[in-house]
Structure 1
Amino acid sequence: MSNSAAAAVLTTADLPEAIRAVRALLDIADVGQGEVDFEAVITSPDVLAQVRHVLPDLEWWASAGKDHGSSEAGDDPADCLPIHVFDWGRPLHLAEPFIVALGSDAGAVRWDLDAWPAVPEAGLEAISQKYAYLTLTVNSRDLYQDDPSQDHTVHVHAQDRDGDQIARVHWLAGRVGGRFTGRVESAHL
């Protein structure tokens, strides 16, 4: 397992604004073979029903631990709330329905991109799939739902071969009306 550096570039209480920012960044990225990963802490039966509508074969485990219930064991998640969702490698088109389904529960969607393209006018080389990700945290300021909030944060992962990401992060933030806040988290990939 490797890590990536996720830089916060936009935090807003307006979920549609955060989604617009994500769409704008996806328009910049190479997403030909892209996929999405989902993480969440689901606390209510209503949110669970909505999320299961999007992901019927949801991968999850009870917040109290796997021995208290999990998808692996074939348990009913409704009997095990709250649960942690950790579902990887899904098609891109499921991202927005999952985000909407979360309601007021905390979660994150990470887009695994093919690349951030070169931007010659900004002096930026292309960044390969290994370092090209985008994450939206919903109702949480951090990647792992440890800091619940009523706002949403867009994070870009854009490290180049030399380990530098600052120039690209500033450039990407500028494309969505955000700014690099200086907040960077280590993201497990």
Structure 2
Amino acid sequence: MSNSAAAAVLTTSDLSEAIRAVRTLVALADIEQGEVDFEAVIRSQDVLAHVRHVLPRLEWWASAGEEHGSSKSGDDPADCLPIRVFDWCRPVDRAEPFIAALGPDSAAVRWDLDAWPAVPEAGLEAISQKYAYLTLTVNSRDLYQDEPSQDHTVHVHVRNRNGDQIDRVHWLAGQVGGRFTGRVELAPL
């Protein structure tokens, strides 16, 4: 397992602005084989119903711990709220319906891209799939939903916080009208 540095490039209280930024960044990336991963904390039965409509085979466990309920045990998630959701390797087209289903609950949606392409005019080389990720945190300031908020943050992932890697962060931030504030989180991949 390796890690990446997830750099915050845009934080906004306007979810539609955050989604537009993600669409712009996804359009810049190579994403032919792309997938989406979901992590969330679901607190209400209404949100759960909407999320299960989008992801019917949802993988989850009770926030109090697996012994209090999980998808592996065949428990009813509605009886175990709040629950933590970890659903991986879904088609890219599931991302926006999942985000719309969240309501006030917090989540991180990560796009696993094929690559960040080279940008010769900015002096940037291509970045392989291993470090080509993009995460939108919804109703949370961090990747792990530990800091619930009413903002949404777009993070771009790079191998490390040095040199040309940070140049890419600044360049990507500029493409969406954001700016790199220096806020970086370690993200296990």
Sort the TM-score into its range (normalised by shorter chain). Answer: over 0.9
Aligned twin of 2:181 = 181
Aligned twin of 1:21 = 21
What percent identity do the matched residue pairs reach? Answer: 82
How do residues 21-100 of structure 1 correspond to structure 2 at under 5 angstroms? 21-100=21-100
Once residues 93 and 186 of structure 2 are traced to their aligned partners in structure 1, the CA distance between those partners, rounded to angstroms, is 26
1:128 aligns with 2:94: no
Deviations 1:137-180 (A, max 9, x none): 000010000000000000001337x8852000000000000000
RMSD: 1.1
Aligned twin of 2:101 = 101
Helix, strand or coil: the match of 1:33?
Answer: coil
User: CA contact under 8 A between 2:18 and 2:153: conserved in structure 1?
Assistant: yes
TM-score normalized with structure 1 length: 0.97
Deviations 1:13-67 (A, max 9, x none): 0000000000000000000000000000000000000000000010000000000
Aligned twin of 2:157 = 157
Structure 2 residues not aligned, in runs of 5+: none
Deviation at 1:76, TM superposition (A): 0.3
Paired residues, number? 188
Once residues 93 and 164 of structure 2 are traced to their aligned partners in structure 1, the CA distance between those partners, rounded to angstroms, is 31
User: CA contact under 8 A between 1:116 and 1:158: conserved in structure 2?
Assistant: no
Helix, strand or coil: the match of 1:166?
Answer: helix
**Deviation larger for 123-132 or 151-160:** 151-160
Once residues 27 and 181 of structure 2 are traced to their aligned partners in structure 1, the CA distance between those partners, rounded to angstroms, is 22
Helix, strand or coil: the match of 1:180?
Answer: coil
Deviation at 1:187, TM superposition (A): 0.6
Deviation at 1:3, TM superposition (A): 1.1
User: CA contact under 8 A between 1:13 and 1:151: conserved in structure 2?
Assistant: yes
Once residues 72 and 92 of structure 1 are traced to their aligned partners in structure 2, the CA distance between those partners, rounded to angstroms, is 24
User: CA contact under 8 A between 2:132 and 2:157: conserved in structure 1?
Assistant: yes
Structure 1 residues not aligned, in runs of 5+: none
Deviations 1:87-145 (A, max 9, x none): 11000000000001011000010000000000000000000000100000000010000
2:110 maps to a residue whose letter is: R
Once residues 64 and 144 of structure 1 are traced to their aligned partners in structure 2, the CA distance between those partners, rounded to angstroms, is 16
TM-score normalized with structure 2 length: 0.97
Helix, strand or coil: the match of 1:157?
Answer: strand
